[in-house]
């Protein structure tokens, strides 16, 4: 089996060719081409290693395994979402039978403000499950108890995220030096939708056009090679380049320190990841806003890259269109994502998906 770096971090000690000089200079080309055609870029889980904690490899408890079941909700709030469902499913790594689910999800409603919070978290690194779990357990409460929650959602959310991150960093049980989490969130208040993103999980919308669902990307992934993100990283003294593995396949662009081949983070924003933050990675959320249209907006999908790695936005809409409700849609998307991971990589990433129907949308009524 070929060697590879971790999906989000390049694992220290793994044998990869990164074309760095002996002094660690950054003269390696970011992209490599084979015969004039860009090599296929894949993001992989670790496929070789001795540590029981690689990719969250600690023994999962029965309680944690029980959390993988789907949660369904019929909303009684006066907001655009009328029904929603979510599931967080542990992945599979044959080299790591003790792997834990490092993903987490939040589905919380606030009747006082007619607000629904739908959020996914994708932990990475040895203690990534601890980081995502602490956000899962504390973030919604911190948001809803913020003095500005009813008047300024973005300030309340920004402050709450920062507060929980500081609590995680101070938690002596969680080592955030090389561990962290992404965060993608949809906040629905009345007919208003706010997207919140840190990292490479994602929120998309499904709009009805000519009897079909068409995808609209609502939040945008924070990739190290995005021009503005890369500019910030380089200004902070970090480097951005992809690693070429022994099988000739390039990994995704990663963030590295200026003088060492760590941490190899495959995103430009994250929560935690203390070492990466010294190289220009930040934890600032990026917001998107939209007033939902009852005549066309039908579905919200919030998911970690366990889905997005091999299922794109348009395919997601095509897959969930025939499903009668959010629970069936979630099940369909997770199964398809898992099948594609096994076909492409022989491993399965942790996959967390939330689907919400808007304005009493029912797919069966459109068939």
pLDDT of res. 97: 81
pLDDT tens digits for 35-92? 333 333 344 433 223 344 444 444 333 344 444 555 655 555 579 999 999 999 999 9
Closest CA to 228 of 286, 177, 184: 286
CA 288 to chain centre: 16
Mean pLDDT confidence for 21-26:
33
Give the mean model confidence (pLDDT) for residues 273-283: 96
Q: pTM for the whole thing?
A: 0.82
In the predicted model, what is the mean pLDDT of residues 316-342? 94
In whole angstroms, give the CA distance from residue 316 to residue 340: 13
Q: What is the dihedral of CA 310, 52, 13, 337, to 10 degrees?
A: 0
223 neighbors 267 (Cβ within 8 angstroms): yes
- Report the chain's C-alpha Rg in angstroms: 20
Specify the residue for token string 């010294």. Answer: 278
pLDDT over 80 at 136, yes or no? yes
Which among 230, 233, 256 has a CA at the least distance from the CA of 243? 256
pLDDT in tens, 159-197: 999 999 999 999 999 999 999 999 999 999 999 999 999
Residue 262: band (very low, low, confident or very high) from pLDDT cuts 50, 70, 90 = very high
pLDDT band at 268 (very low <50, low <70, confident <90, very high): very high
What DSSP string runs through 202-249?
A: EEEEEEEETTEEEEEE-S----TTSHHHHHHHHHTT-EEEEEEPTTS-
Bridge partners (DSSP) listed for residue 17: 244
CATH number 3.60.20.10 given to 62-221+286-366: no
Residue 171, both tokens: 């938690």
The dihedral built from the CA positions of residue 146, 151, 153 and 159, taken in this order, carries a sign that is negative
**Cβ count within 10 A of residue 110:** 18
pLDDT value at position 96?
83
**Length of the chain as a residue count:** 367
Distance CA 326, CA 320 (A): 8
Mean pLDDT of 306-331: 94
- The arithmetic mean of pLDDT across residues 111-134, rounded, is 96
Write down the pLDDT at residue 250: 76
């Amino acid at each position: 089996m070929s060697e590879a770096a971790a999906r989000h971090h390049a694992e220290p000690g793994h044998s990869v060719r990164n074309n760095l000089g002996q002094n660690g200079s950054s003269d390696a080309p970011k992209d490599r081409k084979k015969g004039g055609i860009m090599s296929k870029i894949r993001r992989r889980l670790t496929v070789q290693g001795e540590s029981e904690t690689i990719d969250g490899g600690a023994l999962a408890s029965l309680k944690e395994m029980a959390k993988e079941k789907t949660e369904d909700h019929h909303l009684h709030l006066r907001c655009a979402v009328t029904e929603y469902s979510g599931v967080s499913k542990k992945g599979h790594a044959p080299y790591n039978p003790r792997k834990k689910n490092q993903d987490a999800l939040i589905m919380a409603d606030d009747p006082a403000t007619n607000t629904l919070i739908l959020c996914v978290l994708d932990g990475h690194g040895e203690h990534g499950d601890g980081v995502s779990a602490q956000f899962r357990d504390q973030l919604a409460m911190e948001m809803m108890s913020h003095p500005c929650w009813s008047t300024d959602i973005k300030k309340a959310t920004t402050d709450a995220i920062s507060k929980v991150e500081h609590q995680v960093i101070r938690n002596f049980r969680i080592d955030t030096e090389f561990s962290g989490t992404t965060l993608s969130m949809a906040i629905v208040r009345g007919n208003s939708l706010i997207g919140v993103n840190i990292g490479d999980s994602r929120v998309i919308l499904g709009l009805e056009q000519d009897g079909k669902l068409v995808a609209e990307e609502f939040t945008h992934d924070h990739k190290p090679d995005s021009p503005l993100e890369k500019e910030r990283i380089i200004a902070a003294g970090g480097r951005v380049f992809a690693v070429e593995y022994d099988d000739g396949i390039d990994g995704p662009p990663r963030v590295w320190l200026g003088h060492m081949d760590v941490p190899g983070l495959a995103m430009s924003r994250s929560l935690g990841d203390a070492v990466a933050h010294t190289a220009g990675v930040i934890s600032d959320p990026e917001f998107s806003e939209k007033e939902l249209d009852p005549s066309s907006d039908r579905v919200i999908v919030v998911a970690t890259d366990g889905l997005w790695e091999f299922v794109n936005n348009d395919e997601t809409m095509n897959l969930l269109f025939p499903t009668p409700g959010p629970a069936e849609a979630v099940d369909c998307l997770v199964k398809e994502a898992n099948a594609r991971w096994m076909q492409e990589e022989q491993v399965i990433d942790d996959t967390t998906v939330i689907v919400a129907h808007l304005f009493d949308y029912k797919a069966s009524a459109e068939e």
